[in-house]
Amino acid sequence: MRGTRLKSRLVRLAAIAVVAIVASTGLVACTAGSDAVKIALLLPESKTARYEAFDRPFFEKRVSELGNYDVLYSNADQDAAKQQSQAEAALASGVRVLVLDPVDSSAAASIVAAANAQGVPVIAYDRIVNGGKLAYYVSFDNRNIGELQGKALVAKLDADGASGGILMVNGSPTDGNAGEFKSGALSQIEPSNYPVLADFDSPDWSPDKAQDWVAGQIVQFGGRIAGVYAANDGTAGGAIAALKAANVSPLPIVTGQDAELAGIQRIVSGDQYMTIYKAMKAQATLAAEVAVKLAKGEPVTGDIEINGAPATLLSAVVVTVDNIMNTVVADGIYTVAEICTPEYAAACAAAGIR
């Protein structure tokens, strides 16, 4: 009798401790039944729209379709130490699987080690983890994404008969993908007629830091800037803001990635040349399906093997003003009404987006 009471008191204390951890780390649990199996989704940052707009909702939706699972969600806000605590909190609360998009691809090896020590499999989501044993990796061919960006930029500069050079605004130096994007882009830019004037690795993929850096380069290079390789739409937005603030006209050719709504709107208005549309729904859905299989202890298979883990790399396509309708609109990612707000209505009409 006393034993039973003590046990229930301990269970209650443990529950309170988990609630406290959850509250202090920003981990968000969705409310499935109390017997639900827990799966953690750890996303890296909040300056890029994709994570809250697509990855999280698509993942949660698919998991909920597959049974009684509780997704413990957290966003690290570009902070590797915060992500480490979020992972520890998730492990302490008894998750069966970790789906991890690391802020820092190297530092996150300790998260994988901690999970593995508890017998919890880890799916590397979008960004690989350098170290530790992964159960699965789902991403894109990130070097190819860089090639697509670089190729589109060079082809457009050639078509315009441009002269001058390129500023490279790369992604976060702690994100393994950013290095892949950069080397893929360089493979296209280096043999071209457009020398790299200067390059910058944007800490945390921060649009503000990209903007500040580009502002400084405008002072130095002015009219010699023919193109800006921006690794994603967030940094493209920062670069374009700096160019506009300095009244650079016409704007250089600017690249991007992620098909963010703001990026698509800048493409419609002509401020940004292209973006990369990644199959994020397929990515999140596959991660959810693999996570559920792993939670059940079922085997998982990939198309290829990367760092010793089964892996799937999904496809990505270039979007310019010419194919907005048959990519992001056709796939139901955005409606024409969402893109063509009053500010963009005239540009949309001119581009045949209706």
> Given the complex with ligand GAL, which of 215 and 279 has the nearer CB atom?
279
> Given the complex with ligand GAL, which of 45 and 271 has the nearer CB atom?
45
In 3D space, the residue among 276, 238, 241, 269 whose CA is nearest the CA of residue 255 turns out to be 276
In 3D space, the residue among 259, 292, 290, 253 whose CA is nearest the CA of residue 273 turns out to be 253
Interface contacts to ligand GAL, rule CB under 6 A: 45, 48, 50, 126-127, 171, 175, 177, 205, 232, 257-258
The minimum distance between CB 39 and ligand GAL, in angstroms, equals 21
> Given the complex with ligand GAL, which of 192 and 206 has the nearer CB atom?
206
The minimum distance between CB 46 and ligand GAL, in angstroms, equals 9
The minimum distance between CB 2 and ligand GAL, in angstroms, equals 54
The minimum distance between CB 209 and ligand GAL, in angstroms, equals 13
What does DSSP assign to residue 308?
A: T
The minimum distance between CB 237 and ligand GAL, in angstroms, equals 12
> Given the complex with ligand GAL, which of 257 and 327 has the nearer CB atom?
257
Burial of 112 (C-beta count, 10 Å sphere; 0-12/13-18/19+): buried
Instruction: Label the pairing between strands 37-43 and 69-75.
Output: parallel
> Given the complex with ligand GAL, which of 93 and 275 has the nearer CB atom?
275
What single string gives the DSSP state of each residue in 190-246?
Answer: TTSS--EEEEEE-GGG-HHHHHHHHHHHHHHHGGGEEEEEESSHHHHHHHHHHHHHT
The minimum distance between CB 208 and ligand GAL, in angstroms, equals 14
Task: Give the tokens for residue 93.
Answer: 């609360």
CA pair distance 337, 354, nearest whole angstrom = 8
> Given the complex with ligand GAL, which of 95 and 236 has the nearer CB atom?
236
CB 234 within 8 A of CB 262: no
